[in-house]
Amino acid sequence: GAGVSQSPSNKVTEKGKDVELRCDPISGHTALYWYRQSLGQGLEFLIYFQGNSAPDKSGLPSDRFSAERTGGSVSTLTIQRTQQEDSAVYLCASRREIAGTDTQYFGPGTRLTVL
Amino acid sequence: GDSVTQMEGPVTLSEEAFLTINCTYTATGYPSLFWYVQYPGEGLQLLLKATKADDKGSNKGFEATYRKETTSFHLEKGSVQVSDSAVYFCALSGGGANSKLTFGKGITLSVRP
């Protein structure tokens, strides 16, 4: 079946602009994660959605970052007033949520470059 | 909080050499442990996992054993191939409310023909 998909694959923006990154999880997966992969910080957790529960936003680095998940499926990560330090690869992952040990499946990522 | 420490890289080996990549962790409770691999130009893929102490995960000739007494999950392969060239990440999931993954910094493996 189809894996996790993300769009766009690459995004170049100017400092101060807003960007939206999209994630389509694997069908039937109820848990969805966003991570960020950057040279300085490695792979970091950003936010977690589980079904209709309130998301766990504990990894978001600032209030310029927000995310939503509509209809329990597609998710959008929004970064407002982008800064150069936001340049990174943003990864989305989904999991079935039968148990906490289930595998997280990752999308190919969106490479964000802030000029 | 939870953390994962991987050995420093990069690592360069000749084909058919033995590979060990060290990984140690700090976590409360009983985490699940994972190795993810990122091949050039591709996304993160699960390589293997272990969910409890003394479990051995294995895949594609790679193995790792969950050692609670040494809080380690070292990755090994008896004979590496050029196609194993990739970045390898050790990770844990604490099993808490969100089961997020905490990753090590990753290590780049290059295998020469």
B33 CA to chain A: closest CA distance, Å? 9
Mark yes or no for CB contact A33/B103 under 8 Å.
Answer: no
Which of A104, A105, A111 has the most B C-beta neighbours within 10 Å, making it the best mutation to test the interface with B? A104
Query: CB B32 to CB A101 under 8 A?
Result: yes
Tell me which DSSP letter residue A70 carries.
G
Say if the Cβ atoms of A50 and B32 lie within 8 Å.
no
Chain-centre distance for alpha carbon A66: 10
Contact A34, A40 (CB under 8 A): no
Closest Cα in chain A, distance from residue B65 (Å): 16
Predicted confidence at residue B8, as pLDDT, reads 83
Per residue in A55-109, pLDDT (tens digit) is 999 999 999 999 999 887 899 999 999 999 999 999 999 998 655 567 899 999 9
pLDDT for position A100: 56
Angle at A91 between CA A29 and CA A66, to 5 degrees: 85
* Structure-token match 């409770």, residue found: B29
Whether A106 sits inside 8 A of B45 (CB atoms) is: yes
- Residue listed under structure tokens 């998909």: A5
SS (H, E, C) B56-111: EEEECCEEEECECCCCECCEEECCCCHHHCEEEEEEEECCCCCCCEEECCCEEEEE
Task: Name the residue among A31, A43, A108 with its Cβ closest to that of B89.
Answer: A43
Query: Distance (Å, rounded) from C-alpha B16 to C-alpha B12?
Result: 12
pLDDT tens digits along A16-52: 999 999 999 999 888 999 999 998 778 999 999 988 7
User: What 3-state class would DSSP assign to A25?
Assistant: coil
Task: Map tokens 């985490």 to a residue.
Answer: B31
> In the structure encoding, which two tokens stand for residue B55, read together?
């479990």
- The minimum CA-CA distance between B10 and chain A, rounded to whole Å, is 14
Any residues with CB less than 8 A from the CB of B99 and at least 6 apart, and which? A31, A95, A100, A101, B93
**Are the C-beta atoms of A21 and A15 separated by less than 8 Å?**
no
Chain A hits for B45, Cβ within 8 Å: 106
Instruction: Please name which of B88, B87, B102 lies closest in space to residue B25, comparing C-alpha atoms.
Output: B102
Least Cα distance to A44 among A24, A58, A30, A29 occurs for: A58
- The answer to whether the CB of B36 falls within 8 A of the CB of B46 is yes
Predicted local distance difference test score (pLDDT) of residue B53 = 93
